[in-house]
A and B are shown apart, each in its own frame.
Chain A
């Protein structure tokens, strides 16, 4: 009678292994979930911080006096990751013109000239490589921000939009 509960080493330990294994599975799944969320959000913050850093550098005082001034502000940036692309687009003050920004079809200022207001660490052709299809295909995480700035164009202080896009 005294030995009724004793079923042997395996008989005794096997039932306890079930909650033990269950606990370990729960623990490692929870740990994996926590780590992946942590990494995912960390990447989001890196993109956010990069966009903030780029926009702060490029906005300067909020007054851009020309391409040289913009290039100088751009050269102060030293960001390798994430990839970014920043440009000036014209902000129309005509209410009849819709000025919604489409990041996949930016009208970079000045439209018909070669020397454009662009700042990027992306070596490939932005318009060809940064398309909706490629973004979906590569599952890029994109952060973009728009800021109003003023640009001195031949002594006319014109409102513009600074568009900053970062992705990884």
Chain B
């Protein structure tokens, strides 16, 4: 018994060291992971809150009636959405006429880009207005996308540059195209709101035209995602049928 006394003490100490190292490794992984889900949650809450606030700001804000005026110096001011609804009603009056929102489109584009500016460096987004009636009429779609350019030397990437671009899109299959695209890029936050567009009609027995609400809702939505490179040739992007604003 006495012969093994020294060995037993050192073996106990080594076991103790082993247990402690196991505990410390556990602690290390625990502290490394601690709060990461909370951090992700806070970040996604911020993105969703921002999307909601931005959508409200776009929907509520006023804009100058006359082009090339700023809101501070404008002689006549109207709600931006009222102007969009008026344009929509006028464009729809003649069947077959293209829905181009002549007057309000540049104002809407400018408002969306400026309101989204604080987040536009770290997030890409798509803003859309789609009538969800039977025809699923696409009223307006703006996509802000980061494009990457790779410098490759001897099959090794030696540099990456990126540029942010704004696109106006037409969509092939309506809202479904946006849903598929959002799924492919992984949306970080989104917000939607329903509004009613207007149409021009002539009440029976009246000589005057009036505006009335359409039966079907229009969904106004904003989807944000973290910038990432994606296949420009793939259907997810191709079906959006986007045109660079600088080329319009």
| Complexed CA–CA distance, A37 and B28 (Å) | 10
- Which parts of B30-76 form the interface with A (CB within 8 Å)? 30-31, 34-35, 38-39, 42, 45-46, 49-50, 52-54, 56-57, 60-63, 70-71
Known contacts A52-B46, A147-B53; is A158 also within 8 Å of B71 by CB?
yes
Whether the pair A62, B53 counts as a contact (CB closer than 8 A) is yes
User: Is there a chain B Cβ closer than 8 Å to A79's Cβ?
Assistant: no
Whether the pair B118, A146 counts as a contact (CB closer than 8 A) is yes
Complex: chain B residue closest to A33, CB-CB: B31
Q: From the candidates A3, A52, A95, A156, name the one contacting B62 in the complex (CB within 8 A).
A: A156
Expressed in whole angstroms, the minimum distance between the Cβ of A18 and any Cβ of chain B is 8
Residues of A within 8 A of B49 (CB): 52, 55-56, 59, 147
Known contacts A6-B5, A62-B57, A63-B56; is A159 also within 8 Å of B14 by CB?
no
Q: Mark A1-23, 1 if CB is under 8 A from B, else 0.
A: 01111110001110111111011
Q: Mark A117-151, 1 if CB is under 8 A from B, else 0.
A: 00000000000000000000000000001111110
Whether the pair B114, A19 counts as a contact (CB closer than 8 A) is no
| Complexed CA–CA distance, A38 and B53 (Å) | 32
Counting residue pairs across A and B whose Cβ atoms lie within 8 Å, the total is 150
Whether the pair A157, B79 counts as a contact (CB closer than 8 A) is yes
The total of chain B residues at the interface (CB under 8 A) is: 51
Complex: chain B residue closest to A2, CB-CB: B3
Whether the pair A20, B114 counts as a contact (CB closer than 8 A) is no
User: Is there a chain B Cβ closer than 8 Å to A77's Cβ?
Assistant: no
Residues of B within 8 A of A148 (CB): 50, 53-54, 57, 115, 118
Expressed in whole angstroms, the minimum distance between the Cβ of A11 and any Cβ of chain B is 7
Residues of A within 8 A of B113 (CB): 95
Whether the pair B7, A26 counts as a contact (CB closer than 8 A) is no
Whether the pair B28, A13 counts as a contact (CB closer than 8 A) is no
Expressed in whole angstroms, the minimum distance between the Cβ of B8 and any Cβ of chain A is 9
Main secondary structure of the interface of B (DSSP, over half): helix
Residues of A within 8 A of B52 (CB): 62
Complex: chain B residue closest to A42, CB-CB: B35
Residues of B within 8 A of A55 (CB): 49
Q: Mark B105-117, 1 if CB is under 8 A from A, else 0.
A: 0000011011101
Q: From the candidates A146, A156, A159, A161, name the one contacting B111 in the complex (CB within 8 A).
A: A159
| Complexed CA–CA distance, A18 and B12 (Å) | 12
Residues of A within 8 A of B42 (CB): 45, 48-49, 52
Expressed in whole angstroms, the minimum distance between the Cβ of B26 and any Cβ of chain A is 9
Whether the pair A52, B61 counts as a contact (CB closer than 8 A) is no
Could you list 25 A-B pairs, sorted by A, with CB under 8 Å?
A2-B3, A15-B6, A16-B9, A16-B13, A19-B10, A19-B16, A20-B13, A23-B20, A24-B20, A26-B20, A27-B23, A29-B24, A30-B27, A44-B35, A59-B53, A63-B56, A91-B115, A93-B70, A95-B110, A148-B50, A149-B53, A149-B57, A156-B77, A157-B60, A159-B115
Question: Which residues from chain A sit less than 8 Å from chain B, CB to CB?
Answer: 2-7, 11-13, 15-20, 22-24, 26-27, 29-31, 33-34, 37-38, 41, 44-45, 48-49, 52, 55-56, 59, 61-63, 91-95, 99-101, 145-150, 156-159, 161
Taking A27-B24, A100-B118 as given, write out 14 further A-B residue pairs in contact, using a Cβ cutoff of 8 Å, ordered by the A residue number: A26-B24, A30-B27, A34-B28, A45-B35, A52-B42, A62-B60, A93-B70, A147-B49, A148-B53, A148-B115, A149-B53, A157-B79, A158-B71, A159-B61
